[in-house]
Amino acid sequence: MLLFRLKRTLKLGVKSLWMHRLRSTLTTLGIVFGVCSVIAMLAIGEGASQEAQEAIAKLGSTNLIIETIRPPDEQADSGNVETVRNYGLTYADAESIRNTIASVEVAVPIREIEQEGRYRNRKTAVKVIGTVPWYTEISPVQLLRGRFLSSTDMHYQQDVCVIDENIVRELFTFDEPIGEDVRIQGNYYKVVGVVGVLGKIESNANFGNNDVSMVASKGSATGNVYIPLTTAKTRFSELNYTFSGGSRRAEKVELQKITVKVASIEQVLAMRDILDALLDRIHDKKDYRIVVPLELLRQAAKMRRIFSIVLGSIAAISLLVGGIGIMNIMLASVSERTREIGIRRALGAKRRDIIIQFLTETLLLTFAGGILGIILGSLVPFLVTYFGKMPTVITAGSLILSFGISGIVGVTFGLYPAYRAANMDPIESLRHE
Amino acid sequence: MATVVDIKNLSKIYQLGSVEVAALDDIDLAIEEGEYIAIMGPSGSGKSTLLNLLGCLDRPTSGEYCLGGKDVSKLDDDELSLIRGMHIGFIFQSYNLIGQLNVIENIELPMYYQGFSEHESSAAAKKLATMVGLGDRIKHRPMELSGGQQQRVAIARALANDPVVILADEPTGNLDSSSGADILNILDGLHQKGKTLIVVTHDDNIAAHAQRVIHLLDGKIEKEIYNKA
């Protein structure tokens, strides 16, 4: 019974709106664009933040990265020409971290050297990464061909290397790299494996957070060459000379990074304090820092919330404007249909019936607008991704949210015109021309 | 015969600024079931006010109005709506059909507000449309009909809920003489079927169809004339 009445009310509502097709369509457009922009904005915001989060997640959420930094008291001994500045993480640090802290799953010492790699007549800038075979546990390197470094390589300080795809492209182009030798600083390293490129962390993750870009490498290297840490120790000097204004400065750094992995995310923050305490005791100056990807992830999540709220509220304002447009048109419609209201009242319509009639029409407009807006709003992100090369993610939440908002807009902005209609004096409205 | 309209000491006073204007001044009127009444009088005599009160569109300032044995002079807005929907049929000078609805839907309207199902009401509406001679035009919109046809739809609509009284306000005022004669024939037919009719008019020829003509002047009943049968 109630359902039949509802169906009939809807049918009559559609009829009234159909009488003024152009007006109804134009009114609906406000909601269409409002809903569409809510969905599109949220999709773009979500896409951007997911990209950033993926970049950070590549660093590993259960990892802690200890980096060597140049200590701050540099100015003090700048006059001494031949002093070797000795700072940074050491092999001993890596050993003591591994040996004294029980909850450390793996500790991976990393040595990074910017060098030039050559193969036949081709050369390119490479980043030599001296590390250990279990490097794969803390970094999502993807082995494409051959093998990664082994403990035998470590033990015998083999001159072998694993290169990434960028190097393959620069040095070998179409040649098969496995088994060939890459020359770095006069030494030859046999390629035993090829790994995939590790994302573009530096270019994409700097969404206002400088730490992330510093975690990743700077400089002009086209790709990474992984060699055993023991080989790196013997082949490359730990002394690094820089010349500035005629004076020579020497620096000695053993390790650029130690990456520590713990078993679960809950242990990450506690581990940071433990590491800090341990290293603070060994190091007499602050020549290291601890980067926690998990914290970056949390910051990114916070950024993402702010981003979504800002974009969402801009879009919500356009929805509000659409709602005001609807109210305006409904008020005009009510005064235009004064006589119809009078007739209906004379024929036995209660105030409630009139309210239901006009509210139904408003809701029909907003829901039609909502559905169209959802369709358009789902298309826009695809276009943005296709033409703007920006990642977008449409979440079910944003669809429900925008549809819900358009419903609320319909009720809010429909109630007042409906009440105006219902409270007209039947005699006056019957006399209305 | 039962008295369907029983009015005692009915007054309607409008407040115009500081002046009180009595549109209806202490009127007594009784109408029997099946009567055909014409209400006449010059402009400002209180015809419209009386019609609005009879039609339960308005409430009297004082006095008593019993419709079909029920006192309706003190009901609230919702109850008055219900009375209008169930017991009163309106016929207006300018037809007052709803433009976006077709003939059937216009006739159905009073039944719609009384909660009839679409199934019941559309069958009844079809019967009524046939009765007023528009059986072949039930899907037409008011715009597509002549004035006389529109008024016939309005009459069918007024009959939809089998009302106690039918109130007609200048039913032929907008029509040419031949369409007007048609409408008057239909009203005569309704009278013969025993309906209670109250017609407000300026026109003596229309008043001649009624059994009793009530002349209003300055809010009072000036005279009542019984026409010969």
Q: What is the pLDDT along chain B (229 residues), one digit of tens a residue?
A: 688 999 999 999 998 888 988 899 999 999 999 999 999 999 889 898 999 999 999 999 999 999 988 899 889 999 999 999 999 999 999 999 999 899 999 999 999 999 888 888 999 999 999 999 999 999 999 999 999 999 999 999 999 999 999 999 999 989 999 999 999 999 999 999 999 999 999 889 899 999 999 999 999 999 999 987 6
In the numeric block, the tokens 């794969």 are attached to A136
**Count of domains observed in chain B:** 1
* Percent share of chain A, pLDDT over 70: 90
Q: Is the pLDDT of residue A217 over 50?
A: no
Residue B106 belongs to a domain = yes
pLDDT at B214: 95
Q: How far apart are CA A352 and CA B79, in angstroms?
A: 12
Instruction: Answer yes or no: do B57 and A430 touch at CB < 8 A.
Output: yes
DSSP A290-326: EE-HHHHHHHHHHHHHHHHHHHHHHHHHHHHHHHHHH
Do A8 and B81 lie within an 8 Å CB cutoff? Answer: no
pLDDT score of B95? 93
The per-residue pLDDT for A200 is 46
pLDDT at A80: 52
* Contact flag A346-B57 (C-beta cutoff 8 Å): yes
CA distance B126 to B108: 9
Asked whether the predicted pLDDT for residue A283 surpasses 90, the reply is no
Task: Judge whether B140 and B101 are in contact, CB under 8 Å.
Answer: no
Amino acid at A178: I
Alpha-carbon gap, residue B178 to A121, rounded angstroms: 110
The residue range of the domain holding B200 is 33-63+74-226
Backbone phi, psi, residue A392, to 5°: -135, 145
pLDDT-above-90 percentage for chain A: 27
- Band (pLDDT 50/70/90 cuts) for residue A393 is confident
Q: Give the DSSP per-residue string, B30-74.
A: EEETT-EEEEE--TTSSHHHHHHHHTTSS--SEEEEEETTEE-TT
Q: Which residues of A touch B84 (CB under 8 A)?
A: 345-348
**Which positions in chain B touch A350 (Cβ < 8 Å)?**
77-78, 81-82, 113
Give me the total of CB pairs closer than 8 Å, taking one residue from chain A and one from chain B.
69
Cβ–Cβ gap A8/B118 under 8 Å: yes
User: Per DSSP, what are the bridge partners of residue B38?
Assistant: B199, B213
Note the pLDDT of residue B169: 93
Q: How far is B223 from chain A (nearest CA, A)?
A: 27
Interface residues from chain B to A (CB-CB < 8 Å): 52, 55, 57-58, 77-78, 81-82, 84-86, 90, 92, 96-101, 105, 109-110, 112-115, 117-118, 157, 161
Contacts of B100 in chain A (CB under 8 A): 15-16, 18-19
pLDDT at B226: 92
Q: How does the average pLDDT of chain A come out, rounded?
A: 84
- The closest CB to that of A347, out of B78, B85, B99, belongs to B85
Angstroms from B133 CA to nearest CA on chain A: 22
B14 lies in a domain?
no
Residues B82, A16: C-beta atoms closer than 8 Å: no
Contacts of A346 in chain B (CB under 8 A): 55, 57, 84, 90, 96
Answer yes or no: do B113 and A4 touch at CB < 8 A.
no
- Pairwise CA distance, residues A152 & A332, whole Å: 85
| Distances in whole angstroms, Cα of residue A351 to Cα of each of A354, A355, A391, A410, A425 | 5, 6, 51, 19, 10
Contact residues on chain A for B161, CB-CB shorter than 8 A:
348
Q: Which residues of B touch A353 (CB under 8 A)?
A: 113
Question: ipTM of this predicted complex?
Answer: 0.94
Which of B52, B77, B113 is facing A427, going by the closest CB pair?
A: B52
* A246 band by pLDDT with thresholds 50, 70 and 90: low
Find, among B211, B219, B225, the residue nearest to B23 by Cα. B219
Beta bridge partners of A70: none
Question: What would the pLDDT profile of A172-194 be if each residue is shown by its tens digit?
Answer: 888 889 999 999 988 999 999 99
Q: pLDDT grade, residue A202 (50/70/90)? A: very low
- Flag if B98 and A344 touch (Cβ within 8 Å): yes
Chain B nearest C-alpha distance from A419 (Å): 15
Q: What is the CATH number of the domain that holds B49?
A: 3.40.50.300
Residue B121 in any domain: the answer is: yes
Contacts (Cβ under 8 Å, ≥6 apart) of A185: A115, A116, A235, A236
Closest residue on chain A to B76 (Cα): A350
Q: Tell me the shortest Cα–Cα distance from A383 to chain B, in angstroms.
A: 41
pLDDT in tens, A322-350: 889 899 999 999 999 999 999 999 999 99
Q: Point out the residue among B100, B110, B118 whose CB comes nearest to the CB of A4.
A: B118
Over range A229-241, report the average pLDDT.
85
Do the chains contact at B109 and A347, CB–CB below 8 Å? Answer: yes
Q: Which residues of A touch B (CB under 8 A)?
A: 1, 4-5, 8, 12, 15-16, 18-19, 339-340, 342-353, 426-427, 430
Question: What region, left, alpha or beta, does residue A133 occupy, with left being phi > 0 and alpha being psi -120 to 50 degrees?
Answer: alpha
pLDDT score, position A1: 61
Residue B22 lies in a domain: no
CB contact under 8 A, A348 and B82: yes
A-chain CB neighbours of B78 within 8 Å are 350-352
pLDDT at B10: 93
Which of A347, A356, A423, A427 best probes binding to B when mutated, by most B CB atoms within 10 angstroms? A347
Alpha-helical segments (H) within chain B: 47-54, 77-87, 103-113, 118-131, 147-159, 177-192, 204-207
Average pLDDT of span A105-123? 89
Range from A42-56, A269-283, A352-366 carrying the lowest mean pLDDT: A42-56
